[in-house]
Amino acid sequence: MDRSLFYYINNRWSNDVFDAVMPFIRNQYLWVPLYLFLLVFVLTNFRTKALWWILFFLATFALTDLISTQVVKALVERPRPCADPVASELVRMLIPCSYSYSFVSSHASNHFGMAMFMFMSMKQFSKRWIWLVFAWALLVSYAQVYVGAHFPFDVLGGALLGVFIGHRTAIIFNKQFGGLQVN
């Protein structure tokens, strides 16, 4: 089922526009302006809690990245689609194959972890737009499958890991600092 869904996303549902856009969507440097905006936004609006929030945000990222790469990938050792003996002949690689392990997707883990942390720590501040953080994480995760870097279950596993870690760090932050409200 995982390989079939991968084939549909990576091959059957492809088009020239997504072929051009998706490699950029999954590139971490594309999102630097968003991270800078978030940094300025938090520092400007939440002065007293801003540095703690930034520390917890970075800790969330560090934990998701460390656990996904150093623990889960090392334990599971699932090959990427480009190195998978069954799927490799059908993969459309839109980025170079890294040949590192695939399960779980660190991109998905990192982005869903950050999204969950932002959602839970900022939801008191803005109920309207805060849901967009999950659309952002989903878009980056979908791009991982589209470009051929991960199977869908790699992304799902990464998303679940990220949501769990982001949830835990947000609970600790909210318990200690009460979430973010405008000063």
One digit per residue, pLDDT tens: the chain, 183 residues? Answer: 889 999 999 999 999 999 999 999 999 899 999 999 999 989 998 878 899 999 999 999 999 999 999 999 999 999 999 998 888 888 998 999 888 899 999 999 999 999 999 999 988 777 778 889 999 999 999 999 999 999 999 999 999 999 999 999 999 999 998 877 654
> What is the pLDDT, as a whole number, of residue 47?
79
Q: Quote the CA–CA distance of 109 and 63 in Å, as a whole number.
A: 10
What pTM was computed for the model? 0.92
Structural domains of the chain in order of their starting residue, each with its CATH number: 2-177 (1.20.144)
CA nearest to 153, candidates 141, 165, 163, 162: 141
- What span, in angstroms and rounded, lies between the C-alpha atoms of 109 and 115? 10
The pLDDT value recorded for residue 99 is 84
104 cis-preceded (ω within 30 degrees of 0): yes
Check residue 129 and give its pLDDT.
84
Residue 79: phi and psi, rounded to 5, are -70, 155
pLDDT at 160 (0 to 100):
98
